[in-house]
Amino acid sequence: MPPSPSSAATPASIVDALKAVGGLPPKARASFAGGRCVRGTYAPSDQAKEITKSRSFTKPSRVLARFSADVGNPNAVGAERRLLRGFSFRLGSDGERSEILTQSAPVHFARTLDQMLAFLQARMPGADGKPDMAQVEAFSAANPETLRQASYLAAHPLPASRACTIYWGVHAFPATNAMGETRFIKFKLAPVGEEGRPTEDVATAKSTDLLQDDLESRIAARDVRFSVMALLDRPGDPVMDVTIRWPDEDGREAVRLGTIVITGTEPNEACDGLVFNPAHLAEGIGHPPDEMFAARRAAYAISQKLRR
């Protein structure tokens, strides 16, 4: 049973609510359930050490990653063409690993855990298998910031390939370099060499199977590459609210930390045993201070335990 509207929000109740809204089985991932596990390499840039001393970003390493689609995404009610995409990756070696979660929108759909639970409860399917749209609209009117992610996806149609998608980290991470200087950064993954390649009409991108077939064919034909960028903070940037973008985020200064090269696919079981827990960060990249990051750390661990 989904939690009642009066339930206090906890990471466990969020996991239950995500699965209830998405119609997902008990052992499925609570979010970004449809995915493809891949492998590759990471090569740092000369500038990486100016931003962070984290050896996961300043040293070459192997990469295990997962492209995904949020097939249970509550923002996708009536909007199949705008399913949120995800890209999770692990850099570094034992004891110096960082696991970063990015998605195809630069903001999250809730500011707090309580707001996220209420957002999901408003979208619980009724006896007909559909949410009560009057209830959804009433919640949205009272919580307009919860529409920002869906609005971004509607205004920025996705390319028909995961390899051509820009992925964003919605959290502000404190990054410390070898000089002991700390500033906030946001992660952005930009596809390399794909800008001029033709894609199918975006309407075909709603099929997870088509996205997966396209990705596998591109990897088989040649490497798929992404620049790992760090967007640099400015005084006054909001770091506690993941529903808000930094001012001029698309045009502000960014540093290329390195390049991820996807060289092959892996059996999905290689990623299914992992959670890509955002709590795993090598020294030099700290935990973001916002409430949703703390909740996400716990929720991912709970979801992994339920899948076993």
Q: DSSP secondary structure string, 236-304?
A: T---S-TTSPPTTTTTS-EEEEEEEEEEEE--THHHHT----TT---TTBPPP-SHHHHHHHHHHHHHH
Going by C-alpha positions, the residue among 281, 270, 275, 257 that lies closest to residue 64 is 270
Specify the pLDDT at position 275.
Answer: 60
Asked if 48 and 57 count as a contact pair (C-beta separation under 8 A), the reply is yes
pLDDT at position 11 is: 85
Among 128-137, 169-178, 193-202, 297-306, name the one with the lowest average pLDDT. 193-202
Kindly state the tokens that stand for 57: 């970003």
Q: How far apart are CA 262 and CA 190, in angstroms?
A: 13
Query: For residues 7 and 198, which has the higher predicted lDDT (pLDDT)?
Result: 7
Residue 49 has pLDDT above 80, yes or no: yes
* pLDDT at residue 208, rounded to an integer: 58
Q: What does the pLDDT read at residue 41?
A: 97
Please check the confidence at residue 244 and state whether its pLDDT lies above 70. Answer: yes
Q: Residue 148: what pLDDT?
A: 96
What's the CA gap between 158 and 165, in Å, rounded? 7
> What amino acid is encoded at 213 in this protein?
D
Q: Which domains occur in the chain, in start order?
A: 35-108+148-288 (2.40.180.10)
pLDDT band at 206 (very low <50, low <70, confident <90, very high): very low
Q: What is the pLDDT of residues 100-125, one digit of tens each?
A: 999 999 999 999 999 999 999 999 99
- What's phi and psi for 150, nearest 5 deg? -60, -35
213-216, Cβ contacts within 8 angstroms, sequence gap of 24 or more = 214/160, 214/161, 214/162, 214/163, 215/36, 215/38, 215/67, 215/161, 215/162, 215/163, 216/36, 216/265
94: pLDDT strictly greater than 80 = no
pLDDT (tens digit, 9 = 90+) per residue, 126-137? 988 899 999 999
- CA–CA gap between residue 91 and residue 200 (Å, rounded): 31
Looking at residues 27-36, what average pLDDT do you find?
78
What's the pLDDT tens digit per position in 50-92?
999 999 999 999 999 999 887 655 444 434 446 899 999 999 9
The model's pLDDT over 151-191, given as tens digits with 9 standing for 90+, comes to 999 999 888 889 999 999 999 999 999 999 999 999 999 99
More confident residue, 53 or 251: 53
Is the pLDDT higher at 183 or at 295? Answer: 183
Query: Hunting for tokens 């089985």 — which residue is that?
Result: 25
Burial class (CB in 10 A: 0-12, 13-18, 19+), 195: exposed
Task: List the one residue out of 274, 102, 108, 128 whose CA is nearest residue 189.
Answer: 102
Adjacent-strand bridge partners of 232? 185
β-strands 85-91, 61-69 pairing: antiparallel
State the distance between the two ends of the chain, measured CA to CA, in whole angstroms.
Answer: 21
Q: Which residue would you say has higher pLDDT here, 272 or 231? A: 231
How high does pLDDT run on average in the chain? 86
> 């709603």: which residue's tokens?
206
Q: Token pair for residue 231?
A: 């967007």
